[in-house]
């Protein structure tokens, strides 16, 4: 595996993903680990990530030069590049000048790292001081206006570095820099493929579970579906899945899980039709937080009831959680921390139901989860489903939730999704909430009569991680199609509005 040493900037995860995209397994470790601890993990290569803008910055962590003498290939990126230069006897000039954003790079001599690339490239920079002299034995490969030494390599020792960020999208030929390091310099084999991920996960699950019983709550989302499918492949009939229909799902989603998913995987599914229960509990409630609390509470209660029934029949030793690698990294990376956080997700289950968590996706990024889902033959609509909130359509009806209102929203949402799919733009956007303003009415004219109906709001967004988002610039023709179909086909809707707010200040969901 490749270790990506995190110096505290936001780039380490991106680097780890790029390495995985090259089909090489990578893990992120803190720069606080000693060189011995890093080497104990037997890395095939090490990448030092970006961090503070300069090795002279107040918060700059030190880099133990021993890391370069261990015979393990090392790529330094940005801060990692400067740290490598300094540790090996090069010069980092205290210019105090910043070079930030898109920068033109001139390649003097491609070498192993930049070979076969154009002579000038646009690359993404973010640094203060710069390397003015490469260490002995290194060949200088490229320069920019603000960085006389912007890349170097020492093929003999397997060491190389770049001042810019090859991992970001704005950098041209970035992925190739990473791949040239992995394959030409570190001589690794690209063997981290969806097939191997599946095989490794299945073996790990078998070892962990033995002949014990496993419970999994399906939500209809990608993560729980892929996690369940993996466990199913590993241990078959020892797994029971519970799927709670709270009546707040979108059109076709219940059938997708009950029919398509079961057909594709053969899982033993306990289906709980709890639509009445949720509608009754939500009657008269229009406050968003109140809705969320009620839905969460009823969900846990239902799940607990089902878990008890199943536990009575066959016992439960493990509970599946769809924790992903970014959650693990963000909660400190250590086993303990991540478990505390993910156990919280199922919080509310009674203490007398004892089980251990099993997290088959804890080493995967979202795109890898999708690749594994495809490898396992899950329905495409499920694998590529957009994120959908646990409280479902309940927080997309502004106002009280009733069966009639759910039916209107479900229909409008289905139209929007269908047209987005027809336009083949599903994979270009992050999410496409459709919201019913149930407490608002406006005057319209439909057919030859005056109407007094409700508006539907379209909220398509682009995002990388839902922390920030921008409104998606969908083509006018598509918006027109969706608008005319919704106003024609959905009773009581006489107006369609487009939400053009970024996040912040707006959130993605309306409630
Ligand atoms: P906001 O609206 O906060 O949403 O910008 C960010 C992301 O989180 C999803 N979301 C939820 N997911 N339970 C969930 O599982 C929830 O209660 C919930 N609320 C929001 C939202 O769809 C978006 O992807």
Statement to judge: residues 219 and 95 lie in one domain: no
User: Which of 296, 298, 466, 471 has most ligand 1 atoms within 8 Å of its beta carbon, as the pocket-test mutant?
Assistant: 466
pLDDT (0 to 100) of residue 464: 84
Indicate if the pLDDT at residue 331 is higher than 80: no
Statement to judge: residues 212 and 327 lie in one domain: yes
Residue 436: inside a domain: yes
| Residue 78 annotated as catalytic | yes
Statement to judge: residues 367 and 219 lie in one domain: yes
Q: How many angstroms separate the alpha carbon of residue 491 from the centre of ligand 1? A: 28
Statement to judge: residues 359 and 418 lie in one domain: no
Statement to judge: residues 222 and 355 lie in one domain: yes
Tell me the average pLDDT across 474-490. 98
pLDDT (0 to 100) of residue 334: 41
Residue 252: inside a domain: yes
Residue nearest to atom 7 of ligand 1 (CA): 466
CB 499 less than 6 A from any atom of ligand 1: no
Statement to judge: residues 175 and 200 lie in one domain: no
pLDDT (0 to 100) of residue 345: 46
Give the number of domains in the chain. Answer: 3
| Residue 255 annotated as catalytic | no
Q: How many angstroms separate the alpha carbon of residue 270 from the centre of ligand 1? A: 26
Indicate if the pLDDT at residue 339 is higher than 50: no
Q: Look at strands 356-358 and 318-320 and give their pairing.
A: parallel
Indicate if the pLDDT at residue 156 is higher than 80: yes
pLDDT (0 to 100) of residue 8: 80
pLDDT category at 329 given cuts 50, 70, 90 is confident
Q: How far apart are CA 247 and CA 273, in angstroms?
A: 8
What's the number of CA atoms in the CB half-sphere (13 Å) around residue 58? 0
Tell me the average pLDDT across 336-353. 50
Tell me the average pLDDT across 410-424. 98
Statement to judge: residues 359 and 444 lie in one domain: no
Binding residues for ATP are 219-225
CB 391 less than 6 A from any atom of ligand 1: yes
Statement to judge: residues 449 and 376 lie in one domain: no
pLDDT category at 62 given cuts 50, 70, 90 is confident
Which residue in the list 127, 165, 246, 454 is annotated as catalytic?
165
Q: Is 407 exposed, middle or buried (0-12, 13-18, 19+ CB in 10 A)?
A: middle
Residue 414: inside a domain: yes
Residue nearest to atom 21 of ligand 1 (CA): 389
Residue 506: inside a domain: no
Residue 390: inside a domain: no
Residue 144: inside a domain: yes
Statement to judge: residues 232 and 315 lie in one domain: yes
Residue nearest to atom 6 of ligand 1 (CA): 466
Give the residue from 383, 411, 426 where a domain finishes: 383
Tell me the average pLDDT across 22-47. 96
Residue 22: inside a domain: yes
Q: Name residues whose C-beta falls within 8 Å of residue 301's C-beta, 6 or more positions apart in sequence.
A: none
pLDDT (0 to 100) of residue 333: 55
Residue nearest to atom 4 of ligand 1 (CA): 508
Average pLDDT of every residue of the chain: 93
Tell me the average pLDDT across 278-294. 97
CB 387 less than 6 A from any atom of ligand 1: yes
Give the residue from 151, 185, 219 where a domain finishes: 185
Q: How many angstroms separate the alpha carbon of residue 496 from the centre of ligand 1? A: 23
pLDDT category at 59 given cuts 50, 70, 90 is confident
Q: Which atom of ligand 1 is nearest to the CA of 221?
A: 15
pLDDT (0 to 100) of residue 355: 86
Give the residue from 334, 350, 383 where a domain finishes: 383
CATH number at residue 435: 3.30.300.10
Indicate if the pLDDT at residue 406 is higher than 80: yes
Q: Contact, 499 vs 459, CB < 8 A?
A: yes
CATH number at residue 114: 3.40.50.880
Tell me the average pLDDT across 370-399. 96
pLDDT category at 336 given cuts 50, 70, 90 is very low
In this predicted model, what pLDDT tens digit does every residue of 88-122 receive, in sequence order? 999 999 887 888 999 999 999 999 999 999 999 99
Statement to judge: residues 324 and 208 lie in one domain: yes
Tell me the average pLDDT across 23-45. 96
Statement to judge: residues 268 and 403 lie in one domain: no
In this predicted model, what pLDDT tens digit does every residue of 221-259 receive, in sequence order? 999 999 999 999 999 999 999 999 999 999 999 999 999
- Structural domain of 344: 194-383
Residue 461: inside a domain: yes
Which residue in the list 153, 167, 179, 359 is annotated as catalytic?
167
In 3D, which of 466, 474, 472, 456 has the Cα closest to residue 396?
456
Binding residues are 219-225
More reliable by pLDDT, 447 or 290: 290
Here the tokens at position 1 are 């595996």
Statement to judge: residues 75 and 146 lie in one domain: yes
pLDDT (0 to 100) of residue 349: 63
| Residue 180 annotated as catalytic | no
């Amino acid at each position: 595996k490749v270790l990506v040493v995190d110096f505290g900037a936001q780039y380490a995860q991106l680097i780890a993903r790029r390495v995985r995209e090259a089909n090489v397994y990578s893990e992120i470790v803190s720069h606080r680990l000693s060189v011995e601890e890093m080497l104990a993990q037997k890395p095939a290569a090490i990448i030092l990530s970006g961090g503070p803008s300069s090795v002279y910055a107040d918060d700059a962590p030190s880099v133990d030069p021993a890391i370069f003498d261990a015979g393990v290939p090392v790529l330094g990126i940005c801060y990692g590049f400067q740290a490598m230069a300094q540790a090996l006897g090069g010069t980092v000039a205290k210019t105090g000048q910043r070079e930030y954003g898109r920068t033109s790079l001139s390649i003097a001599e491609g070498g192993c790292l930049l070979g076969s690339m154009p002579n000038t490239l646009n690359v993404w920079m973010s640094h203060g001081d710069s390397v003015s002299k490469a260490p002995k034995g290194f060949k200088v490969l490229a320069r920019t206006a603000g960085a006389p030494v912007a890349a170097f390599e020492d093929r003999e020792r397997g060491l190389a570095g770049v001042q810019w960020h090859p991992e970001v999208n704005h950098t041209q030929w970035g992925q190739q820099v990473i791949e040239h390091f992995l394959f030409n310099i570190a001589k690794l084999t690209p063997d981290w493929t969806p097939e191997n991920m599946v095989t490794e996960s299945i073996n790990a699950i078998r070892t962990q579970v033995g002949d014990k019983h496993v419970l999994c709550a399906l939500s209809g989302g990608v993560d729980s579906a892929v996690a369940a499918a993996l466990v199913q492949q590993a241990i078959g009939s020892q797994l029971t899945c519970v799927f709670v229909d709270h009546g707040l799902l979108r059109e076709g989603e219940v059938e997708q899980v009950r029919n398509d998913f079961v057909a594709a995987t053969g899982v033993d599914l306990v289906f709980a039709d709890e639509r009445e229960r949720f509608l009754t509990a939500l009657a008269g409630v229009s406050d968003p937080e109140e809705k969320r609390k009620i839905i969460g509470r009823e969900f846990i209660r239902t799940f607990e009831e089902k878990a008890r029934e199943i536990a009575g029949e066959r016992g439960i030793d493990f509970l599946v959680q769809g924790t992903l690698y970014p959650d693990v990294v963000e909660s400190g990376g250590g086993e303990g921390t991540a478990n505390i956080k993910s156990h919280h997700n199922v919080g509310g289950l009674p203490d007398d139901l004892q089980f251990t968590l099993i997290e088959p996706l804890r080493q995967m990024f979202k795109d890898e989860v999708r690749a594994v889902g495809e490898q396992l033959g899950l329905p495409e609509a499920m694998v590529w489903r957009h994120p959908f909130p646990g409280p479902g359509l309940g927080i997309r009806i502004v106002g009280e939730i009733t069966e009639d209102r759910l039916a209107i929203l479900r229909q409008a949402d289905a139209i929007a999704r269908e047209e987005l799919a027809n336009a083949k733009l599903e994979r270009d956007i992050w999410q496409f909430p459709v919201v019913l303003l149930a407490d608002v009415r406006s005057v319209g004219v439909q057919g030859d009569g005056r109407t007094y109906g409700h508006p539907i709001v379209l909220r398509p967004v682009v995002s990388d991680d839902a922390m920030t988002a921008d409104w998606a610039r969908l083509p006018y023709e598509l918006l027109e199609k969706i608008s005319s179909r919704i106003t024609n086909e959905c009773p009581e809707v006489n107006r369609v509005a487009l939400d053009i707010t970024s996040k912040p200040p707006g959130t993605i969901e309306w409630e």
